[in-house]
Amino acid sequence: MGVKLDLDAARQILDDAYVQAVEATSLPDTWLNFSRSLRQEGAPRTYTPALGTALLARACDVAVDPRSIKEAYSTRSYSARTLCHRVLVPAAAGLGFDLYTTGREPLNNQPFFRYSHYDEISRLPPEHSMHFGRLNDALRVLEQHSPKECKLALMAFLKVCSEHAGYDNKPESVARHVVGVRKNYACDPIPVDGGQAQVFRARDKSTGSVVALKKLRIPLGRRVARMRREIEVGLLLGRHPHAMPILDYAQDHTWFVMPYAEGTAVDHCDELRNDDVLLSLLQAVCSVLKVAHEKGYVHRDIKPDNILLLRGRWVLADWGIVRRPRGMTTDPQRTRKGMALGSEGFAAPELEDDAHSAGPQADIYSLGQFVGWAVTGKRPRANVPLIPANGVWRAVVRSATRDDPAMRPGSVSDFLELVTRELNSPIRQDPRNTAYLLAEVSKGSTVALDELLDLAVRRTGNSAAFCDILLGVDEAPVLAALLRDSGRAIDVIREMARLIETRGGNEWPEVNRVAFWIFNIGRQAALVNELDLLEECCRGAFRWDAVWDQKDAQGRISTWLRALSGGAASSVAEVLQKYPNCAANFADLAHDNLVDRRIRWAVSR
Please state the rounded mean pLDDT for residues 312-325: 88
Q: What's residue 176's pLDDT? A: 40
Residue among 533, 528, 504 at smallest CA distance from 518 = 533
pLDDT at residue 11 is higher than 60: yes
Distance separating alpha carbons of residues 520 and 512, to the nearest angstrom: 12
pLDDT at residue 550 is higher than 70: yes
Q: pLDDT digit string (tens) for 388-397?
A: 877 789 889 9
H or E element that contains 316: strand 313-316
Residue, of 360 and 484, whose pLDDT is higher: 360
Burial of 370 (0-12, 13-18, 19+ CB in 10 A): buried
Q: What's residue 134's pLDDT? A: 59
CB–CB of 211/258 below 8 Å?
yes
Percent of the residues in the chain that have a pLDDT greater than 90, as a whole number: 28
Q: What's residue 107's pLDDT? A: 31
Identify the band that residue 367 occupies on the pLDDT scale cut at 50, 70 and 90: very high
CB–CB of 465/514 below 8 Å?
no
If one counts every other C-beta atom within 10 angstroms of the C-beta of residue 393, the result is 21
Distance separating alpha carbons of residues 91 and 85, to the nearest angstrom: 11
Residue, of 39 and 359, whose pLDDT is higher: 359
If one counts every other C-beta atom within 10 angstroms of the C-beta of residue 165, the result is 16
Judged by average pLDDT, the poorest of 77-86, 283-292, 407-416, 473-482 is: 77-86
What one-character-per-residue DSSP string does 134-158 give? SHHHHHHHHHHH-HHHHHHHHHHHH
Identify the band that residue 412 occupies on the pLDDT scale cut at 50, 70 and 90: very high
Q: pLDDT digit string (tens) for 258-290?
A: 999 989 999 999 999 999 899 999 999 999 999
pLDDT at residue 80 is higher than 60: no
Q: What's residue 128's pLDDT? A: 43
Judged by average pLDDT, the poorest of 89-98, 281-290, 315-324 is: 89-98
Q: Is CATH 1.10.3720.10 the right assignment for the domain spanning 182-260?
A: no
Please state the rounded mean pLDDT for residues 453-482: 71
Distance separating alpha carbons of residues 357 and 296, to the nearest angstrom: 12
pLDDT at residue 428 is higher than 60: no
Q: Determine the CATH number of domain 264-423.
A: 1.10.510.10
- Give the range with max mean pLDDT: 35-44, 300-309, 341-350, 466-475: 300-309
pLDDT at residue 438 is higher than 70: yes
Q: What's residue 475's pLDDT? A: 79
Burial of 270 (0-12, 13-18, 19+ CB in 10 A): exposed
Residue among 93, 50, 95, 94 at smallest CA distance from 69 = 50
Q: pLDDT digit string (tens) for 110-134?
A: 333 233 334 444 444 444 444 444 5
Judged by average pLDDT, the poorest of 198-207, 350-359, 412-421 is: 350-359
Q: What's residue 109's pLDDT? A: 34
- To the nearest whole number, what is the mean pLDDT of the chain? 73
Identify the band that residue 17 occupies on the pLDDT scale cut at 50, 70 and 90: low
Question: pTM for the full model?
Answer: 0.56
Would you kindly state where each structural domain of the chain is located, as residue ranges?
A: 7-166, 182-260, 264-423, 442-603
Phi, psi of 322 (to 5 degrees): -60, 145
Please state the rounded mean pLDDT for residues 372-396: 90
Pairing state of beta strands 193-194 and 210-216? unpaired
C-alpha distances (whole Å) from 292 to each of 25, 91, 296, 464 are 25, 17, 6, 45
Q: pLDDT digit string (tens) for 160-194?
A: 444 333 333 333 434 444 567 888 899 998 888 76
Q: What's residue 492's pLDDT? A: 82
Question: CB-hemisphere CA count at 13 Å for 303?
Answer: 19
H or E element that contains 414: helix 412-423
C-alpha distances (whole Å) from 147 to each of 177, 287, 301, 330, 350 are 27, 36, 36, 20, 39
Determine the length of the chain. 605
What are residue 570's DSSP bridge partners? none
Residue, of 426 and 452, whose pLDDT is higher: 452
Please state the rounded mean pLDDT for residues 94-122: 34
- Give the range with max mean pLDDT: 24-33, 138-147, 525-534: 525-534
Q: What's residue 169's pLDDT? A: 36
Percent of the residues in the chain that have a pLDDT greater than 70, as a whole number: 63
Q: What's residue 258's pLDDT? A: 92
Distance separating alpha carbons of residues 195 and 580, to the nearest angstrom: 47
Q: What's residue 244's pLDDT? A: 92
Please state the rounded mean pLDDT for residues 241-252: 89
pLDDT at residue 346 is higher than 90: yes
Helix (H, G, I), strand (E, B) or coil at 272: helix
Q: What's residue 3's pLDDT? A: 53
For the chain, helix (H) and strand (E) counts, in that order, are: 28, 9
Q: What's residue 356's pLDDT? A: 77
Phi, psi of 492 (to 5 degrees): -65, -45
